[in-house]
C-alpha cells in the first residue's frame, strides 16, 4: 500500500537559508531519502516553498475565489512529502519515525486510495517507453 508521508514543521523555527544548521538538515534528509530508496519503498518526494508562497483556490457560486496564503493558519506548515510503498501501516510508521521531520516537527501518514494505480502505471509505462526517466 502506498502512503503519503507529509512533513509539517514550524517555519519560524526552520534554519535560515545557507546556514550550517540548514546544510546539516539537508544532509539528514538526503541520507533518509537514500535509505528509503535502498529499502525499495521510495515512490517520490519533494520539498515545498514557504507557506508565504501559497495560493488558495475555492470555487463558490460558479466563480473562483483566489487568495494569497494558506488554507488555514496553523503553528506547523506542510513543508514537504514522500510517497512510500509499504506492506502495512506498521512498516510505514517505522519509516516515518526515521524521517528527520519527525524530530523537529510532525510526520502524518495517509494511505493513498489505490483505485487509480492502473491508470498511473499505464502513464508511467508510456513515459518510460518514450525514454524519459
Over the chain, what is the mean pLDDT?
Answer: 89
pLDDT band for 67, please (50, 70, 90 cuts): confident
CA 90 vs CA 69, 87, 97, 105: distances in Å = 35, 8, 11, 20
pTM: 0.77
**Rounded Cα gap, residues 85 and 127, in angstroms:** 20
Q: In the structure grid, which three cell numbers stand for residue 14, read together?
A: 526552520
DSSP string spanning 67-125?
EES-SS--SSEEEEEEEEE-SSHHHHHHHHHHSTHHHHSEEEEEEPPGGGHHHHHHHHH
Q: Give the span between the Cα atoms of 99 and 31, in whole angstroms.
A: 10
Per-residue confidence at 28, pLDDT binned at 50, 70, 90? very high
- Rg over alpha carbons for the chain, rounded to the nearest Å, is 17
| pLDDT tens string 104-125 | 899 999 999 887 666 667 667 7
**How confident is residue 72, by pLDDT bands cut at 50, 70 and 90?**
low
Confidence of residue 70 (pLDDT cuts 50, 70, 90): low
Asked if the model's pLDDT at residue 36 lies above 90, the reply is yes
> Is the pLDDT confidence value at 133 over 80?
no
Amino acid at each position: 500500500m502506498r502512503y503519503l508521508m507529509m512533513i509539517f514543521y514550524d517555519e519560524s523555527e526552520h534554519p535560515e537559508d545557507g546556514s550550517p544548521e540548514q546544510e546539516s538538515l539537508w544532509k539528514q534528509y538526503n541520507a533518509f531519502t537514500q535509505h528509503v530508496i535502498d529499502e525499495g519503498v521510495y515512490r517520490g518526494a519533494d520539498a515545498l516553498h514557504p507557506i508565504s508562497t501559497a495560493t488558495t483556490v475555492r470555487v463558490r457560486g460558479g466563480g473562483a475565489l483566489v487568495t494569497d496564503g494558506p488554507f488555514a493558519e496553523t503553528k506547523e506548515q506542510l513543508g514537504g512529502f514522500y510517497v512510500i510503498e509499504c506492506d502495512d501501516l506498521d512498516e510505514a510508521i517505522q519509516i516515518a519515525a526515521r524521517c528527520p521531520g519527525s524530530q523537529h516537527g510532525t510526520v502524518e501518514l495517509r494511505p493513498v486510495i489505490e483505485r487509480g494505480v492502473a491508470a498511473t502505471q499505464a502513464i508511467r509505462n508510456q513515459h518510460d517507453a518514450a525514454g524519459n526517466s
